[in-house]
Chains A and B, each alone.
Chain A
Amino acid sequence: MRLTEIAGLLECEVLLGEEHLDTIEVRSCFAADLMSDVLRFSDSGALLITGLTSLQSIHTADVADLAAILFVSNKTPGQATIDLARTRNIPLLTTPRDMFDACGVLHRAGLALAVEV
């Protein structure tokens, strides 16, 4: 599923990377506020769904080769976090839905869990 479809399904505001949404294809997601879990369990190419808006969410997505970050519950990172994501080419979206709801919508739409085996 392209990021642009995900943005539509979850009524997202695109914070960064609007121009890439139509070309990035996401097949799986990993949802966590704990970056330790993402680093340990997530497969590459996943959409990270999180409520953590710190700089470390961007570093985590970068080192783990994740496709993009979706912030839940209308959370919006500070400018430093957005600037860091820009240097790493990581699209950022925010949705008014909470994490459970956002995951439910994406699961029903056919996205799978991104767990490394």
Chain B
Amino acid sequence: MPAEVTEPLLVERFRIQGGDYEHGGDAAAQIKAIMRRLGIDPDIMRRLSIANFEAEMNLVMYADEGVMEFQVHADAVRVRVADRGPGIPDIELAMQEGWSTATSEMRARGFGAGLGLPNMKRNSDEFEISSTVGAGTTVRYAVHLT
């Protein structure tokens, strides 16, 4: 994280419900639509959108409920995803490609390969995750605009 994070120029929040596969992806889509209206560079928009969709599906698959907060700053687009859920006991393990606790239902829907968290980090210029077992997980990431 940079030493000083500026005041956001725009903040939008989206509620996400655990288990709601029907709407899993809507928040990422709405944020993409906002970025398109703002004229954000397509590559930056794609990277943040992929991270957002991965985060949103993680929340739908594993958590009870949560919020995705999107912020536009002069130098970056930033997202904070905080959920109420089981938490992650071993974050280092969860960040390894291929490690997954996905159920067969999640895999049948095309997810659960153990690629989500590492792919969010890969598409971000800043990434941090914190979690409390039995309480929930918070992920923050950003893509720089310059």
> Which residue of the partner chain, among A55, A56, A63, contacts B49 with CB atoms under 8 Å?
A63
A80 to B114, CA, bound (A): 28
> Which residue of the partner chain, among B21, B29, B119, contacts A40 with CB atoms under 8 Å?
B119
A residues less than 8 Å from B136 (CB atoms): none
Known contacts A35-B110, A36-B111, A62-B32; decide if A55 and B119 are in contact (CB<8 Å).
no
Is A64 in contact with chain B by the CB < 8 A criterion?
A: yes
Known contacts A39-B119, A62-B29; decide if A56 and B50 are in contact (CB<8 Å).
no
Q: Cβ of A54 and Cβ of B46 under 8 Å apart?
A: no
Q: Cβ of A40 and Cβ of B52 under 8 Å apart?
A: no
Q: Cβ of A52 and Cβ of B110 under 8 Å apart?
A: yes
B residues less than 8 Å from A57 (CB atoms): 110
What band does the interface of chain B fall in when counting residues whose beta carbon is under 8 Å from A?
20 to 34
Residue ID in chain B nearest A42 by CB atoms: B50
Known contacts A34-B110, A34-B113, A36-B110; decide if A60 and B21 are in contact (CB<8 Å).
no
Q: Cβ of B110 and Cβ of A55 under 8 Å apart?
A: no
Q: Cβ of A64 and Cβ of B110 under 8 Å apart?
A: no
Is A13 in contact with chain B by the CB < 8 A criterion?
A: no
Is A95 in contact with chain B by the CB < 8 A criterion?
A: no
Q: Cβ of B110 and Cβ of A63 under 8 Å apart?
A: no
5 chain-A/chain-B pairs, Cβ below 8 angstroms: A33-B110, A36-B110, A36-B111, A55-B24, A59-B53
Interface pairs A-B: 5 shortest CB-CB: A59-B25, A35-B110, A36-B113, A63-B49, A36-B115
